[in-house]
Chain A
Amino acid sequence: MMKRKLLALTLSALLIPASGAVLAQAKEKAPAKAAAPAKMNISGDVVKIAVLTDMSGVYSDLGGKGSVIAAEMAIEDFKAQAKPKFKIELVSADHQNKADIGSNKVREWFDTQGVDMVTDVLNSAVALAVAKVTTEKNKIMINAGAASTRLTNEDCAPNNVVHYVYDTYALANGPGKAVTKQGKDTWFFLTADYAFGASLEKDTTDAVKASGGKVLGSVRHPLNASDFSSFLLQAQASKAKVVGLANAGGDTINSIKAANEFGLTKNQTIVGLLTTIIDIHALGLPTTQGMMFTEGYYWNLNNETREWSRKFFSRHKKMPSMLHAGTYSAVTTYLKAVQATGTDDTATVMKQMRATPINDVFAKGGRIREDGRMVHDMYLVEVKKPSESKEPWDYYNIKQVIPAEQAFQPMALSRCPAVMKK
């Protein structure tokens, strides 16, 4: 009797995740409701868009399910407004933050499933691997999630890859210059010990020096460190006016939390270099008030962003991050280009996207440059005091709108071979 019960329990325990997998499979297979196909030059008679993201790891709140929802919303809105004569399908997968899993999945999508465009692709390591496959298969990646500037420099692929939302240059530039010019001109860095952290630290250092500031030192901490107090004590001992956090996700959250506990925030300014509204929401305003950083999107900017974000909120139960809004915009931009040209041919669509300014809920007057960088306004934000916040998720004061030309690395500094030849 006992054994039978046990068996039933074990089986049901096994079935719960299994049913999830079946659902996920079904989701992957079920096409989004289709419009009637017509005489257009579309491969396989369907425009297939893929969202590749981190569904379960450290970045899954930043992209994850939210990115899939954003892409779904983009397709629904596009269908309602543009009444396209072609079918649109959406597929998605979890790359588990592993470059090999990501590039294999994308290869399978391109080779056997007729995917035309892949988006989100957060995590720089995965993005760089996927960029190679995309170029090899001559498809399109509109990257809304990765930070590395290599995507539009050393490893640029302007015929196939668009870098859409942000990069380490854009993140570093805003606070690096603005904070230094406020007189907070000595910096100390807490840097995640891998390529992303190093490049964020370097880009910020450049911006600080360009504005007449000085970097007093830095400490490299291992990724996913369990305790930051020791590193923060070193930052405190440096007597720098600003402590820059060149890390992301859980590392940033735990650094900020410990900075408060050890009283750093009284005499030093903490600047997150990749901080998003998700982190602020997780930490709460009492801990984060007064922090400054660069964001690519904020839901509470104007009526248009509020309306879209509330729609997103009703489905995801969280306000969108810049990755979510960026994914929505990327999918919309791509579909508009397919609609305008009547084909999903890579070269034609890329040409059309480069020629058309991007005006939607995410970007105003956005433009895809010849190196693949989409340039748009960025926002230098300061976190509100708890007393200033009027409703949940009302977190930022916009200190400065950084215009598109200044927000991103100028073309003159480009290290992209395809562009430099010209």
Chain B
Amino acid sequence: MTEIFGVPVQALFGQLMLGLVNGSFYAVLSLGLAVIFGMLNIINFAHGALYMAGAMLTWIGLEYLGISYWWMLVLAPIGVGLIGIAIERLMLQWLYKLDHLYGLLLTFGLALMIEGLFRDLYGVAGQPYSIPEELSGAFNLGFMFLPKYRAWVIVASLSVCLFTWFMIEKTRLGAYLRAATENPKLTQAFGINVPLMVMLTYGFGVGLAGFAGVLAAPASQISPLMGSNLIIVVFAVVVIGGMGSILGSVVTGLSLGIIEGMTKVFWPEASATVVFMIMAVVLMIRPAGLFGREK
């Protein structure tokens, strides 16, 4: 069998595939962050906690109300989106005029509170959630045994990313949004309800986090700490891609997933650090990120 650096090529394909799966999670999460930062100028630290809330809602839906995974795939993001809208109306909207730091601190505090709430209610060991029947089992790809669920994660998240990109870049609504970001006062003068758009954008951004949470529910243990383990990496992805860049966050999310996957084969101890090493290098060469524009 052919080998690369002592690793069989077939095993390498397997790891590439897994990298793509993890990259899909990064892509959806960083996309939400990028949308929120791009439109609202808010560094949303509550993103990880809302991702966890999405997974928790999925579990609560099944456990207490008997709602299936497929329904929760729609309902949980809407639920998380509504929480987001409440946060935006009650708290965030007062901070737009201030420095980024205030938004960051507020959302960080919220993240701690949301996590603390679930930790107090359910403990940290987490809840089990089984893979929906339609997606249990696996494909034998020859070079690896790919669980159907992981394949579904790739398909679902890429579709959502594509949909978001299309909405923002190609539709009238997206055009209004971009205009509102560029010059809120002028846009308002044309009769467009800017605060409403901003509110919906935040709701949509955190809804994406909720969606990623539903996707993650069957794949990992649903624990109150699942968001905080992931969110720092996702922030690094956003910084590498360029704050606020939609396309950048998706492409970087996927490629960093793959790079991280490769690191897990060749130097597993460094797999938690590699993303940050890349971030440091990118910041030195292109401070605005790979796809970002300097202002």
Contacts and interface: CB of A to CB of B under 8 A. Distances in A.
B54 to A, nearest CB: 15
B11 A233 contact: yes
A226 B11 CA distance: 21
Contacts of A279: 125
Query: Which of B90, B116, B125, B269 is packed against the most chain A CB atoms within 10 Å?
Result: B125
Contacts of B188: none
A57 B220 contact: no
Contact of B147 (A222, A250, A261): A261
Interface string B252-272: 000000000100110011011
Contacts of A278: 125
Contacts of B126: 250, 253, 282
A193 interface: yes
Contacts of B175: none
A61 interface: yes
Query: Which of A60, A230, A237 is packed against the most chain B CB atoms within 10 Å?
Result: A230
Contacts of A263: 138, 145, 147
Contacts of B21: 227, 229
Interface string A237-270: 1000000000001100110011001110000000
Contacts of B264: 221, 230-231, 234
Given A61-B123, A250-B223, A282 B128 contact: yes
A9 B225 CA distance: 26
B107 to A, nearest CB: 14
A222 B271 contact: yes
Decide if the interface of chain A is mainly helix, strand, loop or mixed: helix
A224 B127 contact: no
Interface residues on B, range: 35 or more
Contacts of A233: 11, 14-15, 18, 144
A225 B271 contact: yes
Interface in A267-300: 278-279, 281-284, 286-287
A45 to B, nearest CB: 36
A80 interface: no
A400 interface: no
B221 A254 contact: yes
A224 B227 CA distance: 11
B150 interface: yes
Contacts of B9: none
Nearest to B10: A237
B229 interface: yes
B280 interface: no
B38 to A, nearest CB: 25
A279 B221 CA distance: 11
B204 interface: no
Contact of B225 (A225, A231, A250, A287): A250
Contacts of B127: 282
Nearest to B14: A233
A227 B144 contact: no
A286 B119 CA distance: 25
Contact of A225 (B11, B119, B265, B272): B272
A220 B270 CA distance: 9
Contacts of B119: 56, 60
A262 to B, nearest CB: 6
Interface string B93-119: 010000000000000000001001001
Contacts of B229: 224, 226
A17 interface: yes
B45 interface: no
Contact of A230 (B149, B230, B261): B261
Contacts of B19: 230
A245 to B, nearest CB: 14
A80 to B, nearest CB: 30
Contact of A222 (B91, B94, B221, B272): B272
A53 to B, nearest CB: 13
A283 B128 contact: yes
Contacts of A283: 128, 221
Given A58-B225, A233-B15, A284-B128, A6 B90 contact: yes
A257 B22 contact: no
Interface of A: 6, 9-10, 13, 17, 56-58, 60-61, 193, 219-222, 224-227, 229-231, 233-234, 236-237, 249-250, 253-254, 257-258, 261-263, 278-279, 281-284, 286-287, 318
Given A229-B150, A233-B11, A262-B145, 6 more contacts: A225-B272, A226-B229, A233-B18, A261-B149, A279-B125, A286-B130
Interface of B: 8, 11, 14-15, 18-19, 21-22, 90-91, 94, 113, 116, 119, 123-128, 130-131, 138, 144-145, 147, 149-150, 219-221, 223, 225-226, 229-230, 233, 261, 264-265, 268-269, 271-273
The 6 A-B pairs with the shortest beta carbon distances in the complex, nearest first, are: A222-B272, A282-B125, A230-B264, A61-B125, A284-B128, A61-B123
